[in-house]
Structure 1
């Protein structure tokens, strides 16, 4: 499953996949659905040069994506990317997430990043297993990190040195 850089033309598919993750309430604290225009704006951003966005497709259909964003606005943390990886609901459990995350790690390294990090809801066992398979380590648990639908949730911080 080869991955490729995401393009603005991928924005509708990425928005659909991301919105499935929002609706499923297991992958993110976000609750507001995203529009293709918002995704397109991110993909057109100059930050994509250092913080890549990639998609995995099969038969011309985008099934997964992974992207990086700055970990912090502070210059000292410039080599760290905060990432996300999402798989279309109908394509989960088939290796697309691993293909996307592995490709993101390679692209982030090539872009000059030295580490990727993220926070994964503790109950998202599929994402935790994926990150472990891809060489991430679980650093620790942030308790009551944020609320989702009025309920506090813990997250596991994961990181991988590139």
Structure 2
């Protein structure tokens, strides 16, 4: 088995990324989305930088991306992170490697604050973000309803120590 490597995500990765995203949807605690979008919808949602995939033996096993939190110029350095790992590779530090690389990439592109909105039930994701320097800044109670159930999201953020 080859080592896991990280590289930029491109359109050719969409099939694999959409399958991993679908696995996240199926958990019921990764996103409020109920089906994966088209490449065009997905591509328009995320920043052009800060798109990574984890690859093992030429197969995409995880991805991490950045989305702008606002179009207002004062928030140009604030982005929301999303990290997804294929079910077969969860618990093997793939998400940690992706998030750490995403942090470096974000800072290289002028991002001073990263934020994540995580279901309170998603303990693995909460722990991942805390391990990578995020801190809890709030709880968004009953922020969304999925299949008849209200869910809270924890708001986590990480302020760059490089960009002042």
TM-score (norm 2): 0.89
- The number of residue pairs the alignment matches comes to 157
5 Å-filtered alignment, 1:13-162, equals 13-36=16-39, 38-39=41-42, 41-42=43-44, 47-49=47-49, 52-162=50-160
- How many angstroms does 1:159 deviate by? 0.5
Task: Say whether 1:12 aligns with 2:15.
Answer: yes
Supply the distance in 2 between the matched residues of 1:94 and 1:85 (Cα, whole angstroms): 14
> Which residues of structure 1 form unaligned runs of 5+?
none
Supply the distance in 2 between the matched residues of 1:78 and 1:150 (Cα, whole angstroms): 35
Supply the distance in 2 between the matched residues of 1:99 and 1:42 (Cα, whole angstroms): 25
Supply the distance in 1 between the matched residues of 2:147 and 2:99 (Cα, whole angstroms): 28
**3-state DSSP class of the match of 2:130?**
helix
Greater than 6 Å deviation, 4+ residue runs:
none
**3-state DSSP class of the match of 2:48?**
helix
